[in-house]
Amino acid sequence: MKIRELTLIVMFSALWVTLELSLGHIIGRISIGPISFHGVINRMVGWALMTVLAEQVSGFGKITLMTMFVSIITRVQRVSILEGLIVALGYILAGFIFDILVNIKRNRGLHYYNIIGIITGFIAIIPYWISRIYILGFVGFVLSFPVYAYSAIKGLSFSVIGVNVGITLNQILVKYKFK
């Protein structure tokens, strides 16, 4: 791994953690009617930074490494450490799959990144859903599904928004010959 790549991973991880820990609590408290913005910063900033990192560095493992750092640091802040680690596992899996999908194809465009955002946005919630099925039982999970479906749609939406922010940032970086 080159120094430039390692520096970008550390910088982006620090930025993601800082924004999540400072803005996440503020934005997360905002609600418009039944719509809560809990988790929005993590999804939007995280997926934007994964997209920027994917275009700025090459090779497998960089995005996974960043999501591992960030997930462990930000998720252990939760009241329930076990729940935090389960959520962290979801983000780590999402970063790992993002890494795989980005490294499969060299010429990645807007549509490909949006597909990656949808896939990884959904993968991020799977460990949490599995834990809810285990705790509530299948029937309890099904009865609570509208709440989980709303959360999934919100997470997917902000993951895709984050990917699009990342694409825009990459276009600016290319314009100024950052890469």
Interval 97-144: pLDDT, tens: 999 999 998 778 889 999 999 999 999 999 999 999 999 999 999 999
Q: What is the pLDDT of residue 179?
A: 56
Which positions ≥6 away from 85 have C-beta within 8 Å? 75, 76
Least confident of 29-33, 50-54, 62-66, 111-115: 29-33
One-character DSSP codes across 16-37: HHHHHHHHHHHHHT-EETTEE-
The Cα–Cα gap between 40 and 164 comes to 14
Cα angle at 61 between 55 and 64, to 5 degrees?
90
Do 126 and 87 contact (CB within 8 A), yes or no?
no
Interval 2-46: pLDDT, tens: 888 899 999 999 999 998 888 877 887 787 777 777 777 888 999
Strand partners, 32: 35
Interval 137-168: pLDDT, tens: 999 999 999 988 988 998 999 999 999 999 99
* Cα-based torsion angle of the residue sequence 6, 12, 17, 23 in order, rounded to the nearest 10 degrees: 170
Q: What is the pLDDT of residue 178?
A: 64
Do 60 and 67 contact (CB within 8 A), yes or no?
no
